[in-house]
Structure 1
């Protein structure tokens, strides 16, 4: 909005002139080039979203479709011949729920341990006066490019007695170096004045960390929790490698065994021979849907922290 004001605007060379004052908060009109860019950008993003969502929507459609339509290739984005037989059979399998419970336990315990180690390690590395800081950063970064290999890791886990225990899943993956560096960068940008004021008031280093730093770091903490939780929830190879008892498998290994045509524990068909064809046609889609559903439901509650958490830790002030 533009307002013409004819009040006192002294001009030494002549009489007063109207002065154009642009109201605050008025956004200038976008140019044609920028408008075209926004249209093209929005179109490309919508196409990318469609490409990403298509496989998931197709899996959902197959999970609720009948065997005849699936085998005929008639299921695309909408279920055909609505059917819940496979859901009933999978949900009635005790081994599925046992493995599902294992996944929840592994994810919760692993995320708690990973967050405890990552936050404390990153906070210590963010202090430039820390003796040996470069050495400890170098150790962390080195593991991004080099590791002991599959066989040495297997020998180590076996020697420590971690086989067939939760520790074989949660401890080897306790720290992600990428997450560590992002959180370290965030703590480096944290205002020193707040920590200094707390120290003057008599707080110890641990008091500053737990009562000042962490409560003000909710964005990056939520982001790291999401990263770790998704990683542990989707992990299957460690369990497949270190677990020999099917009762200790996570649900991702259950899914893998179904895809490979291997039953885990109780047969999922359990006396339902008449429905074997239906079950075989979409058991993979049903199990994948049941596996990914909790993460999909969790994401909307913390996605508002996602971008801000990563950017706060990535931008140097």
Structure 2
């Protein structure tokens, strides 16, 4: 059937609206990108929308990569993301698998106490005291262990595991498979879309995390990239990155350095998303439709 005039108008309106929303959403990132590529003095004199670099200049990026804390922060963050995401997936998968078993005793009671943590928690001070008493202060474990399982993610993964046919598990048990074999050889391979979503969510969470490091870390050599970025943006600690720059130009260059630092810290995680995007929609829709 041919679309009516009303349907064409409605479709055109939706298209224009979505393009507008895309532009509004993307422009802040584009603005930061263009500002980081601009000449510092010309950028400070610019007014209005920024539709391209003002006097193309890479000095801000050169200054960023000269800062040893940036590269150290990158190294630390990559380590925290890799190890933290591995711990998250392992712990979340075990918890989700146990809670997805139909014959688990007291399952509803356990789910109640697990879900209630999404609303109520001990707070920062009790958590800090617990981490301190466990001897994890100023260690990598203070950043990874307290948040090893995200309740919401575990519920999503549990729903995915429940969709695996019971006949497969029963057949595996008849062949002598243990629970570990069923989890790692059957359930997880059949749940790759939700696994990809968990990797994305946990990795982005670790990549953007700075508050835990701010609270628990005292050694600057262990700072993640986001904490280094916080120092540059909030503490205005760009002077060490501008050796040999005249004092009159330091403020202008310092502004473009901040934008370049933002691009450097966000670009890797943005590049990761397209590889997982094909799983993303399917993964988050698991459990949304019941038959």
TM superposition score normalised by structure 1: 0.86
Q: 2:33 aligns with which of 36, 60, 71?
A: 60
SS at match of 2:286: helix
> Is this contact kept in 2: 1:126–1:185, CA < 8 A?
yes
Between the aligned partners of 1:229 and 1:120, the Cα distance in structure 2 is 19
Q: Is the 8 A contact 1:179 1:224 kept in 2?
A: yes
Residue 82 of structure 2 is aligned to residue 111 of structure 1: no
Paired residue for 2:14? 41
Measure how far apart 1:65 and its partner are: 0.4
Match of 1:240 in 2: 214
Shift of 1:168: 1.0
Check 1:37–1:181 CA distance in 2 against 1; reply closer, same or farther (3 A cut): farther
Distance 2:21 2:156 in 1: 26
1:50 matches 2:42: no
Q: Of residues 71, 77, 87 in structure 1, which corresponds to 2:61?
A: 87
TM-score by length of 2: 0.93
Deviates more, 1:133-142 or 1:251-260: 133-142
String of CA shifts for 1:116-154, please: whole Å, max 9, x gaps: 011111111111210121122112211111111111111
Gaps of 5+ in 2: none
Task: Name the residue aligned to 2:44.
Answer: 71
Which region of structure 1 is more displaced relative to structure 2, 281-290 or 30-39?
30-39
Give the superposition deviation at 1:30: 4.1
* Displacement after TM superposition at 1:32 (Å): 4.6
| Separation in 2, partners of 1:97, 1:140 | 39
- Point out the structure with max Rg over C-alpha: 1
Please list the CA deviations of residues 97-119 of structure 1 after superposition, one character each: whole Å capped at 9, or x if unmatched. Answer: 11111111111111000000111
Alpha-carbon separation, structure 1, partners of 2:278 and 2:214: 34
Query: Equivalents in 1 of 2:88, 2:289: separation in Å?
Result: 24
Task: Give the aligned partner of residue 285 of structure 1.
Answer: 259
What is the aligned counterpart of 2:111 among 113, 134, 137? 137
For residues 42 and 157 of structure 1, the distance between their equivalents in structure 2, rounded to whole angstroms, comes to 51
Secondary structure of the residue aligned to 1:82 is coil
Please tell me whether the aligned partners of residues 184 and 313 of structure 1 are also in contact (alpha carbons under 8 angstroms): no
Tell me if 1:100 matches 2:113: no
CA contact (8 A) 2:143 2:213 kept: yes
CA distance in structure 2 between the partners assigned to 1:201 and 1:45 by the alignment = 53
**Higher relative CO (CA 8 A, sep ≥ 6), structure 1 or 2?**
2
**Paired positions, count:** 289
What root-mean-square deviation, in Å, do the aligned CA atoms of Structure 1 and Structure 2 show? Answer: 1.9
Q: Which structure shows the higher helix fraction?
A: 2
**Are residues 150 and 215 of structure 1, via their aligned partners in 2, closer, same or farther at CA, if it must alter by over 3 Å?**
same
Take 1:72 and 1:147, find their aligned partners in 2: how far apart are those partners?
49
Q: What residue is the counterpart of 2:135 in the other structure?
A: 161
Q: Is the Cα contact below 8 Å between 1:239 and 1:253 reproduced in 2?
A: yes
Higher alpha-carbon deviation: 275-284 or 166-175: 275-284
- Contact 2:76–2:222 under 8 Å retained in 1: yes
